[in-house]
Every structure is written in structure tokens, then in C-alpha cells.
Amino acid sequence: MSARLFRFMGAVTALSHDDRRALCDRSTSADAVVREQTATIIARVQESGDDALRRMAHEFDGATLDALEVPRGEWERARDALAPELRAALERTVRNVRTAHTAFLPQAIEVETEPGVLIGRRPDPLQRVGVYAPGGRAAYPSSLIMGVVPAKVAGVRDVIVCSPASVSGRPSDVVLAAAAIARADRVFAIGGAGAIAAMAYGTDSVPRVDRIVGPGNAWVAEAKLQCAGAVAIDSPAGPSELLVIADAQADVHIVAREMLAQAEHDPRAAVVCVAIGAEVAERVAAAVAALLPSVARGDIIRDALAFAGGVLHTDTLHTAIDFANMWAAEHLLLALTPASLDSACAALRGAGTVFLGESASVAFGDYMTGANHVLPTGGLSRCYSGLSTLDFVRWTSWQRVTPVAAASLASAVGVFADSEGLANHAATARQWSTAT
């Protein structure tokens, strides 16, 4: 039964060329249908603005929008109507994210590269950013918090949120409540690739932003990539991914729960376990099969496991880490003996975020530890990092050169400029050669 659940099974070293390529090529841009549909949506927004957004809200979400923007009073009423334990959980998450990201704030620095030559750099907050909070199959107030709070910590003046409308014509109450608790500035009831295009190019109602952050489905991730020439983005954050490395001491039921949890996000989620030993792999696959009939969102999970799920095995931890660095997961859980955790983490170079030990559940990071859950997907963790305050600043650099230092630089810079055939650069530098 378990063998039919997963697309990929067996030894890592025995994977065919095609399977290895399919495992690693997870970018939504590889899907021509997604790429073409997204381009069409972006063009509709550029051409018709608010009217296109209203039509697409009805077409995709079954929502009739009288206005695209949700008044602040509705957020506050949603916040005040929250069950006390849910409100406390959201507030706790906001506190932890604020604490962590305040510590992560970049600092200005000035360095003297040689006497009289000072080079400086300072982080300046962006003026306006857009935060995408997914909707559709589920509401994600956590994603809203992960985008809004670091932006406010960084000093962004205007933080707007876009989240899909339900049939009521507005985002879910818990998303609106999260906007109030996280102290967003504006909320719009629009979603999908259309929301990304609206924030990238602006409409009569939706202001153009400097950067767009936040996860989403394949169309949202693709829209961010297609709009990247007009607006900065955080990273290609598409359907969820999890890689678990499990050794013989791992609790396979915990591993199975972690895999099911990430697979429930999206039928295109990618969930893989690499076990140290074939027997461990068999036990993990059996645990997933045993749990699956009784869990919620089972149809989504089954589709995800069949689409990109896997239980693989290696002979050594070293080989598993090599695979992890190649696969470049969004989330990487190390279900290893405690003595192996730190050395394994030190060897990893391609994960959005690493969870050290079974008790460091990915769910804790998704919601409340204070780390950010907006992370690169599609194998791009090898070159992108997770969302942080760094995504909400741009850097202003400056240079100071004293007249004495200018005289010291003049001759060498003149020679350098001559070598590139730039005579006026050389003359500009040499005019300082007699400065005192």
C-alpha cells in the first residue's frame, strides 16, 4: 500500500536520471500552463486594473466585491471577535517574530580601507511593501504576520496586505484579525496572480509597492517571477516543501506526522524523507500509510505524495546530506540522534531553514518560534534565503576620500583607467596627484 502512495522510492544512488531530474526540477516555471495562465492574468490587470481584479475575484473565488479595500473597522471587529485562546496565540506569534527580527536588524557600518579612504553603508527602510497572505484551500494569518511584522520592525512606512476574498467579499476573519494585531496599514480583498500584478504595477485602488513578499500557490510564485522586472520580490516561495533526514533512532510516527503536515498545504507540495538504511525507510512509509486514512485533508495529501512525495534511503548520513544540499528544501528536519545534529547542520548549504531534532517540529516554526516561515522553494534555497528584515531595506553607500588620500590614489587609478582606454577617468584621477 505504501509503495503506491509515493512517486519516488528506493535508494538515492539507484534513482534514474529522469527521477533525479524530476525530484530537483520543482520550479513552477517549468509548467508551461501555469506560466501562460499567469502571463494572461498579469496582462488583464495591466489593461483593466480594478475592473479586472473584480472580475477575477468572481471568476476564481466566487466573490462579489463592492470595494477592493477592506476598511480598518472590519479588521478590528474581527480581532475583537476572536476566541480568546486564538487571539492569545496570534499575539504570542507577533511578539516572538518581533523579538527575533529586531535582533536581526542590519546595522550601518563604515570602514577605512586605507588611510583617508572611508567606505560606508547604511540600511534604509523601503517606503511601501506588499504582503501576500494566501487563501483558497485554507486561511493563513501566520503568513500575514511573517510578512507584516518584520516590515514594521524594519521601519517600512506603508505595509499593505492582499488576501483572497471568500464568498462574503472579504478575506477570512482570522486573516483580518491578524492584520489588526500585526499592525498592517491597508488590506485588500484580492488574491492569486492578479494581486501580485496589482501590487507590482498599481491600479486605481491598489498602490504600487517597492517589494512583494509572501508565499502562495504555483500561480502566485510564477507571478512574482514574471513581475520581478517591475518590483523586487523576496524569493520564489511556491508550494510547500519538506525534506526529513531520519536515522535508525528516529520515531517514524513523528516523521510521518511531519510529512503529512506539509503535504496538506497543496497538491503540488513536495515531501521527501531520506532514511539512513532501507529498513528505516520501510518503517517511515508504513507509518505514513497507516496514518493517512484517518487524517483531515487526505485527498490533498494523497495528491501531493503522488505528485512529488518520496521515501528514499542511503547507507550513510554523509550521503543523505549530499542529497539534501542538492535537493535544497524549503524546510529540512533532522530526525537524528542528538550527537549528530550540530555536525549535520554545519554541513548543510541548501535549506531555507533547518529544524534540529524531532522536538523542533516544522509546525512550531510555521507558527510561533519567531523564525520566518516565508522561505524559498523549487530548489532555490541553494541561492535565496528566508524572509527577514533584510528584505525590507535597501542600502545607501557612501565614500569619503581626503585630499591626501586622493593624492595617494591618483597615480594607480590613472594607470588602471588607461588600461581600460578611459582617458578622462585617468585625467580626473591624476588631477589630484599634487594635492596636499
Q: Annotated catalytic sites, by residue?
A: 330-331
For 62, list phi and psi in degrees, rounded to 5.
Answer: 65, 25
365-381 burial, b if ≥16 CB within 10 A, otherwise e?
bbbbbbbbbbbbbbbbb
- Residue 93 has which C-alpha cell? 506569534
- DSSP label at 132? E
Phi, psi of 186 (to 5 degrees): -145, 150
Strand partners, 401: 117
Amino acid identity of residue 1, one-letter, is M
- For residues 195 and 216, the answer to whether their CB atoms sit within 8 Å is no
C-beta separation of 8 from 305 below 8 A: no
Spatial CA neighbour of 168 closest among 78, 232, 105, 302? 78
Q: How many residues does the chain have?
A: 436
CB burial readout 130-141, b (16+ within 10 A) else e: bbbbbbbeebbb
Distance separating the N- and C-terminal Cα atoms of the chain? 83
SS3 241: strand
Q: In terms of Cα–Cα distance, which of 216, 259, 223 is closest to 238?
A: 216
